[in-house]
Amino acid sequence: MKKLENVKHILCVASGKGGVGKSTTAVNLALALSKQGATVGLLDADIYGPSLPLMLGVEPGTRPEIKEQKFMVPIQAHGIQCNSMGFLIDENTAMVWRAPMIISAFNQILTDTVWSELDYLIVDMPPGTGDIQLSLAQSVSVTGAVIVTTPQDVALLDARKGIEMFNKVGVPILGVVENMSTHICTQCGHEEAIFGTGGGNRLASEYGVTVIGRLPLELAIRESSDGGDPVVASEPNHPATASYLELANNVRKRLAEVELSAEAGPKITISDD
């Protein structure tokens, strides 16, 4: 399995279904890692519905610089490098493509982007367990995957499929992120688990993985993402930012554990006896 040039670690942020806040998590995780001193890239792998340009506040019509008529120089936004199909097409264009075209486009963005030296490349995966997920796992060495879910049962059902898929292709699960875990009313301060409780714990326990983050259902997260100025970048002292920074810390710890486990794997020796 080959590695991307200049990229130390490739981390997937994935979910079994749409609507659980996967892209918001990927963007703010990338920014949190950057704030902690890492050099970070962000790749939007959702060819059908790229949202990264909007969430990072990149001016519509911005295109990556092309070198040697092939290679793309990533866009800089909020101190991180990024690339997306959204930079290559009009924002109103519908991608009416069959699977082979989607895989080809994704592989081109993945391998033909000229990343500078990166500690982490965060890949915001499309929802589900389809062609792009398999293509990524089979074409480059993926360090680990973060599974995003909400506590409700229907989201957990689909998140299981995501974990099963990464297990089958040999990508380590770094942990589960329980998004929209609780909501605190801005008027009275009452905390309520709108989507239920304990879902992330049940999922993690079932697969022997860890809950590495619990993120709030928070108006500021939605408003800042829609405004192109994610909460980690725009509100450093917000409690939601603290949650993302804690997630980034846990991702780094789990990554270190995975690498240590790989180094301590069994070694075969051959002798003449």
Mean of pLDDT values over 255-270: 73
- pLDDT single digits (tens) 150-171: 887 776 778 888 899 899 889 9
Q: Which CATH superfamily is domain 7-263 in?
A: P-loop containing nucleotide triphosphate hydrolases (3.40.50.300)
Mean of pLDDT values over 46-63: 90
DSSP codes, 41-68 = EEEE--SSS--HHHHTTPPTT---EEET
Phi, psi of 66 (to 5 degrees): -105, 130
What pLDDT score was predicted for residue 26?
Answer: 96
pLDDT band at 91 (very low <50, low <70, confident <90, very high): confident
What pLDDT score was predicted for residue 1?
Answer: 57
Measured CA to CA, the distance from residue 122 to residue 181 in angstroms comes to 22
Instruction: Kindly report the average pLDDT of the chain as a whole number.
Output: 87
Q: How many contiguous H segments (helices) and E segments (strands) does the chain have?
A: 9, 12
* CA 18, chain centre distance (Å): 13
Cα 58 to Cα 20, 29, 62: the distances in Å are 23, 18, 7
Q: Which residue has the tokens 């990343």?
A: 115
pLDDT band at 84 (very low <50, low <70, confident <90, very high): very high
Whether 67 shows a pLDDT value over 90: the answer reads yes
Alpha helices in 8-152 (DSSP H): 22-35, 52-55, 99-112, 131-139
Mean of pLDDT values over 34-40: 97
Q: Which residue has the tokens 């486009």?
A: 105
What pLDDT score was predicted for residue 20?
Answer: 87
Among 169-173, 182-186, 212-216, 224-228, the minimum mean pLDDT is found in 182-186
Mean of pLDDT values over 184-191: 69
| N- to C-terminal Cα separation, the chain | 34
**Which residues sit opposite 36 in a β-bridge?**
none
Percent residues over pLDDT 90 in the chain? 47
pTM exceeding 0.75: yes
Measured CA to CA, the distance from residue 223 to residue 161 in angstroms comes to 30
What pLDDT score was predicted for residue 82?
Answer: 97
Stretch (H or E) spanning 221: helix 219-226
**Domain positions in the chain:** 7-263
Whether 97 shows a pLDDT value over 80: the answer reads no
Cα 207 to Cα 100, 144, 162: the distances in Å are 32, 15, 12
Four-residue CA torsion sign, 104, 70, 49, 122: positive
Four-residue CA torsion sign, 106, 108, 111, 117: negative
Whether 225 shows a pLDDT value over 80: the answer reads yes
pLDDT band at 268 (very low <50, low <70, confident <90, very high): low
Stretch (H or E) spanning 66: strand 65-67
Which residue type sits at 231? Answer: V
CB atoms within 10 A of CB 202: 15
Among 33-37, 151-155, 206-210, 237-241, the minimum mean pLDDT is found in 151-155
167, 161 contact by CB (below 8 A): no
pLDDT band at 22 (very low <50, low <70, confident <90, very high): very high
Whether 181 shows a pLDDT value over 90: the answer reads no
